[in-house]
Amino acid sequence: MIFDRLECIRRYRGLGGGFVKAADFLENTDVFSLPLGEFEIDGRAAYGFVKETALERENLRWETHEQYADIQILLGGAERIGYIPFSGQPVAVPYSAEKDVAFFAEPGKGLECTLRAGDFVIFLPGELHRPDCPVPGEGLSRKMVLKVRVG
């Protein structure tokens, strides 16, 4: 897991492959004015979507991916995101290759980060994370999720 500010995205070009194209996109696009919905950066090798979510209750579903890394960037509002290393936690919903996701039973609290506009996290394949958790006093999260194929 990586937690940083959008103005520092250039340093993660070193992750290679689609991260170079994702960083180029983020450096050359006014991401704060993008409309809701999906868009392509490099076909299905790197793509993303913008969404708004009213965060009213704790998300208890931990997830992980096999084919894609997530770059989750807060564009407005606030959101808590959890991270915990994978250590054999039981699977609640088996991996779906079509959706590139598996869900896990509540493995514990783990590390939590509060993201505000301009913050981002990167989750590599196999890293358990729990997005879309509310921040007291903040109701809405507007974020962009970039999917970067690494597997």
What span, in angstroms and rounded, lies between the C-alpha atoms of 33 and 120? 17
What is residue 86's predicted lDDT score, i.e. its pLDDT?
87
Q: What is the DSSP letter of 52?
A: E
93, 100, 110 from 90: Cα distances, Å: 9, 17, 15
CA distances from 139 to 13, 31, 55 (A): 33, 21, 5
Report the alpha-carbon distance of residue 26 to residue 86 in Å, rounded: 29
- If residue 79 lies in a helix (H) or strand (E), which one and from where to where? strand 68-84
Question: pLDDT tens digits, the chain, 151 residues: what are they?
Answer: 999 999 999 999 999 889 999 999 999 999 999 999 999 999 999 999 999 999 999 888 899 999 999 999 999 999 999 999 888 889 999 999 999 999 998 777 789 999 999 999 999 999 999 999 999 999 899 999 999 999 6
- Two tokens, residue 151: 């597997």
- Which pLDDT score is estimated for 92? 94
pLDDT given at position 151: 67
At 87 the pLDDT is 86
List the structure tokens of 84: 């915990």
Q: Is the pTM of this model over 0.85?
A: yes
Q: Could you give all domains of the chain from N- to C-terminal order, each with its CATH number?
A: 2-149 (2.60.120.370)
* C-alpha–C-alpha distance, residues 129 and 134, integer Å: 15
pLDDT for position 125? 96
